[in-house]
A and B are shown apart, each in its own frame.
Chain A
Amino acid sequence: MSLDELSKEQLIEKLKLLELENNSLKEQVGKTYGIDNHDNNPQLQQYQHQQQSFNSLLSSEEYRRYGRQMQVPEIGISTQRKLKQSKIGIVDGDTVDVTNLHRQVLHNTETVGMLKCESAKRNLLKLNPNVEIQTYPDLISNDNAFKIISQYDYVLDCTDNPATRYLINDVSVLCGKTIISGSGVKTDGQLCVLNFHNIGPCYRCFYPSPPPANSITSCADGGVVGSCIGLVGIMMATETLKVISGFYSGDNFKPYLGLYSGFGPNQSLRTFKMRGKSNKCKVCCAETRQITKEVIEKGDLDYHTWCGSVDYNVLKPDERIDVQNLKKIIDTEKETKTGFLLLDVRPKEQFEISSIPNTRNIPYAKLKKCKTLEDVLPDYDDVPVYVICRFGRDSQLSVRFLKDQLGLKNVWDVKGGVNKWASDVDGEFFVYW
């Protein structure tokens, strides 16, 4: 804030402040020469207090900038001053990818390849240069979580996997921070406020143990509609305002879970009354606490191991072929016509976006429900079967299943899926990931 932007009121405040600062500096100089040995310098304290209230003062430009929301009774100038005093920290070690842009509106085409936290900072400052933003270009981890989270009052969890959500929860609870949590996939979203001022339930109270690894759908796998997940983000912002402003209090805050559904018969937000703090919680209940700062920082709790992962490594080397081999098989077939079947096990929607010609699509989710080979391939006539998916993970599980459960012998996995096919064989294959 430069001097000529300030109102008269602010200039007087600034003057008083400088006066105080001057006095306290004089005292400090005196201290170094041993003239004054007071540790609790009242003038220095007063200076610090005044400095804080000065930081909450708005410039005349800001009165207009925030005017429309300050007029709203629920916000008012008091909340605006609190916002003015606050600082934002952004933690993300990832870089902007073109697949993020349809939903992560803090980034744009120009910032593709840039660190996400820097790109976000850049665009936020374009929107409002008065905001103080600190960036942390790291993924949040057992090592850095306490150092980062302890510096802030509120935590917005915008992450995308259970392991990170548990980590953020545990550290925030142990640091006494309120979490505003949002998530979503496809056209649905979920929203809640966790560990509200240490009296509300935490993520572990809601979900004491992680879901089975094979039941988790990520945005990369399941897809996500930008406008739907965007709404979840906007709702998180509103909840954050309500926490900062003091709208939520110990008396009126009731644990809830909001379920947003974008593509129902109507769009809907249903809010469910949820359980309170659990008296068996391993992190937020003092009597039953097993997870402590020490446990986390020593790495005794490995969140990713605890949440588990699907083991895709279920095939022997001779049960797999690479994409070059597949290319040869396809080319030879044109002359020999001995017949083979290429089975693509991606979800139907992905298969429809782009696929290798003459491929049959049977999504893995559907395949694994089949009880006989007849269910999968009614017209099967003993030709070799090659199974492909996007990255070569579900295809391995499919081959194992076809062999062990349905008794198909003549079947191989295509290593690396259509991703590898696109990069090594067919440069014109449409890559949507």
Chain B
Amino acid sequence: MIVILLKKFQKRRHQAAHGYMLHATGKGGLDVIFGGQKYATFKFKLPTTSTTTTTQPTMQDLLHLIVKNLLVDKKDRCMFVVPVSGIEIDNEAQNVENGGVKDGVKEDGEDGDEEEEVTVTPGILVLVNDTDWELEGELEYVLEDGDLISFTSTLHGG
């Protein structure tokens, strides 16, 4: 399971929030997609996609961000990306330090190549706080300060 905690952060005090701090923890299988790191903190400005009417970042933005910047291995993209147009996103991430805060704010998330459908593949459950994301609007869900987003895979053994 990967759990991502979102915290708003500001560049300076009294300024409007600049982006979100992502505190990610992973365990039990899914953590391997972030290079097997158990805990990591990322600092990113969440981009907003052109398709979204609201200026607030949504779940779709978060998934784009994960796909573009956080996945260590391109092969893991199939967990989040359902190919529609087949555009390869240039993944130059892997600049995250284990357990540390990545300096600087990533700004390159805005050039969005949104032809591709970024969502999750069958077998992955997305939970917003304590709720199935389907009840929260799935990709349209507007992220809030303090949200806990979990990705977990369904289990079949017994």
Encode A247-260 as 1/0 by CB contact (under 8 A) with B: 00000000001010
Contact B158 A186 (CB under 8 A): no
Which chain B positions have C-beta within 8 A of A215? 121, 123, 153
Chain B residues 78-137 with CB under 8 Å of chain A are 78, 121-125, 127, 130-132, 134-135
Chain B residues 142-158 with CB under 8 Å of chain A are 152-158
Which chain A positions have C-beta within 8 A of B32? 365
Q: How far is the CB of A22 from chain B (nearest CB, A)?
A: 49
Encode B23-63 as 1/0 by CB contact (under 8 A) with A: 00001110010000000000000000000000000000000
Encode A237-281 as 1/0 by CB contact (under 8 A) with B: 000000000000000000001010100100000111111000000
A127 to B97, CA, bound (A): 56
Contact B157 A224 (CB under 8 A): yes
Q: Which of B124, B127, B153, B155 has the most CB of A within 10 A?
A: B155
Q: How far is the CB of B26 from chain A (nearest CB, A)?
A: 12
B11 at interface by CB-CB < 8 Å = no
Decide yes or no: A185 and B155 within 8 Å by CB, A210-B122, A275-B134, A369-B73 being known contacts: yes
Which chain A positions have C-beta within 8 A of B75? 368-369
Which chain B positions have C-beta within 8 A of A186? 28
Encode A344-385 as 1/0 by CB contact (under 8 A) with B: 000000000000000000000100110000000000000000
A420 at interface by CB-CB < 8 Å = no
One of A134-142, A154-162, A424-432 contacting the partner: A154-162
A292 at interface by CB-CB < 8 Å = no
A426 to B78, CA, bound (A): 41
A183 to B153, CA, bound (A): 12
A212 at interface by CB-CB < 8 Å = yes
A390 to B95, CA, bound (A): 36
Contact B123 A264 (CB under 8 A): no
A222 at interface by CB-CB < 8 Å = yes
Q: How many A-B residue pairs have CB under 8 A?
A: 91
A215 to B154, CA, bound (A): 10
A189 to B156, CA, bound (A): 9
Residue of B nearest to A276 (CB): B135
**Contact count band on B:** 20 to 34
Q: Which of A161, A271, A369 has the most CB of B within 10 A?
A: A369
Residue of B nearest to A215 (CB): B123
Residue of A nearest to B152 (CB): A259
Question: Which of B28, B78, B132 sits near A275, CB closer than 8 Å?
Answer: B132
Contact B122 A212 (CB under 8 A): yes
Encode A170-204 as 1/0 by CB contact (under 8 A) with B: 00000000000011111111100000000000000
Which chain B positions have C-beta within 8 A of A270? 130
Question: Which of A159, A212, A229 sits near B121, CB closer than 8 Å?
Answer: A212
Which chain B positions have C-beta within 8 A of A368? 75
A365 to B32, CA, bound (A): 10
A345 to B14, CA, bound (A): 55
Decide yes or no: A271 and B122 within 8 Å by CB, A185-B157, A264-B27 being known contacts: no
Q: How far is the CB of A228 from chain B (nearest CB, A)?
A: 11
Which chain B positions have C-beta within 8 A of A217? 29, 157
Q: How far is the CB of B38 from chain A (nearest CB, A)?
A: 11
Contact A184 B127 (CB under 8 A): no
Which chain B positions have C-beta within 8 A of A232? 158
Contact B130 A272 (CB under 8 A): yes
Decide yes or no: A271 and B153 within 8 Å by CB, A187-B28, A207-B123, A211-B122 being known contacts: no
Which chain B positions have C-beta within 8 A of A185? 155-157
A229 to B157, CA, bound (A): 9
Contact A211 B123 (CB under 8 A): yes
A219 to B32, CA, bound (A): 19
Decide yes or no: A273 and B154 within 8 Å by CB, A186-B28, A188-B28, A212-B122 being known contacts: no
Q: A211-B124, A218-B156 are in contact. List 17 more A-B contacts (CB 8 A).
A: A182-B158, A183-B154, A185-B155, A185-B156, A188-B28, A189-B155, A212-B121, A216-B123, A216-B156, A219-B157, A257-B125, A259-B1, A261-B27, A261-B28, A273-B135, A274-B131, A369-B73
Provide a sorted-by-A list of 23 A–B residue pairs whose CB atoms are within 8 angstroms.
A183-B156, A183-B157, A190-B154, A207-B154, A208-B122, A210-B122, A212-B78, A212-B122, A216-B123, A218-B156, A218-B157, A219-B157, A224-B157, A229-B158, A257-B132, A259-B1, A264-B27, A271-B130, A272-B130, A273-B130, A273-B132, A274-B135, A275-B134
Q: Interface residues, chain A, CB within 8 Å of chain B? A: 158-162, 165, 182-190, 206-212, 215-219, 222, 224, 229, 232, 257, 259, 261, 264, 270-275, 365, 368-369
- Across the A-B interface, give the 10 residue pairs with the lowest CB-CB distance, nearest first: A211-B123, A185-B157, A219-B157, A275-B134, A183-B155, A274-B132, A209-B122, A160-B158, A273-B131, A190-B155
